[in-house]
Amino acid sequence: RKEVEQDPGPFNVPEGATVAFNCTYSNSASQSFFWYRQDCRKEPKLLMSVYSSGNEDGRFTAQLNRASQYISLLIRDSKLSDSATYLCAVRTNTGGFKTIFGAGTRLFVKA
Amino acid sequence: DGGITQSPKYLFRKEGQNVTLSCEQNLNHDAMYWYRQDPGQGLRLIYYSQIVNDFQKGDIAEGYSVSREKKESFPLTVTSAQKNPTAFYLCASSVGHTIQETQYFGPGTRLLVL
């Protein structure tokens, strides 16, 4: 089992839709969680950090469920410009701090 | 204008050749990292450095080498021992190396083997 798993998608949604992605992690000692956005052939850019139960920034909401070991990203009122790959990252202390990235979920928002 | 720069954007390697990828940051960050990204896979850690003159192997260090002689710079050498070097290489940095550190990425170098 991978340490951090994401549904690769693609998720195809119309403009204005609400879409949610999940990211599961296997190490219960994980303490910090991040969502990054990556456009095609570009670097990942930080979207949101999640340290407690959740975080909200405009149309984007991240939730952390420690009991079930997953984080979610909810995008409301999707825009064409939201089309990208969304990577989750989990930071764990396993004899040293380590950030493990998921392979990403692809989102296409259609007009 | 603070940030992380990587050069070149594209790099071509011949068989048996060592190549060096540049990574520079002016964010005054202590920690720097090198990742490799292959299609359909998550980022994999090659090397990281918490402080000048110190670096640690990541999960896939074989065939790679690094140096950290200056705080701003963390170059990665892909040696001829790396048999499958074609990938997208990303350099990242963070303020420090704690459990809550957020990593910020440079624009990446795409390495192709001729």
Q: What is the DSSP string of chain B?
A: ---EEEE-SEEEE-TT--EEEEEEE-S--SEEEEEEE-TTS--EEEEEEEETTEEEE-TT-TTEEE--SBTTB--EEE-TT-S---EEEEEEEESS-STTPPPEE---EEEEE-
Please say if the pLDDT value at position A31 is more than 90: no
Nearest residue on chain A to B106, alpha-carbon basis: A43
Find, among A88, A8, A32, A101, the residue nearest to B58 by Cα. A101
Taking the CA of residue A55 and the nearest CA in chain B, the distance in Å comes to 15
Q: What is the block-wise mean pLDDT of chain B (114 residues), using blocks of 10 residues?
A: 90 91 96 94 93 94 97 96 93 88 95 90
pLDDT attached to residue B1 = 60
Select from B40, B45, B99 the Cβ nearest to the Cβ of A103.
Answer: B40
Taking the CA of residue B18 and the nearest CA in chain A, the distance in Å comes to 24
DSSP A48-72: EEESSSEEEETTEEEEEETTTTEEE
Please say if the pLDDT value at position A94 is more than 80: no
Q: How far is Cα A76 from Cα A61, in angstroms, rounded to an integer? A: 8
Please say if the pLDDT value at position A92 is more than 90: no
Percentage of residues in chain A having pLDDT higher than 70:
99
Q: How far is Cα B91 from Cα A46, in angstroms, rounded to an integer? A: 14
Find, among A110, A106, A97, the residue nearest to A29 by Cα. A97
Confidence of residue A70 (pLDDT cuts 50, 70, 90): very high
Q: How far is Cα B21 from Cα A109, in angstroms, rounded to an integer? A: 35
Confidence of residue A54 (pLDDT cuts 50, 70, 90): confident
Question: Which residues of chain A does B99 touch, with a Cβ-Cβ cutoff of 8 Å?
Answer: 31-32, 91, 93, 97
Mean pLDDT of all residues belonging to chain A: 93
Q: Rounded mean pLDDT of A62-80?
A: 96
CB B98: neighbour CB atoms within 10 A?
Answer: 13
Q: Rounded mean pLDDT of A10-17?
A: 97
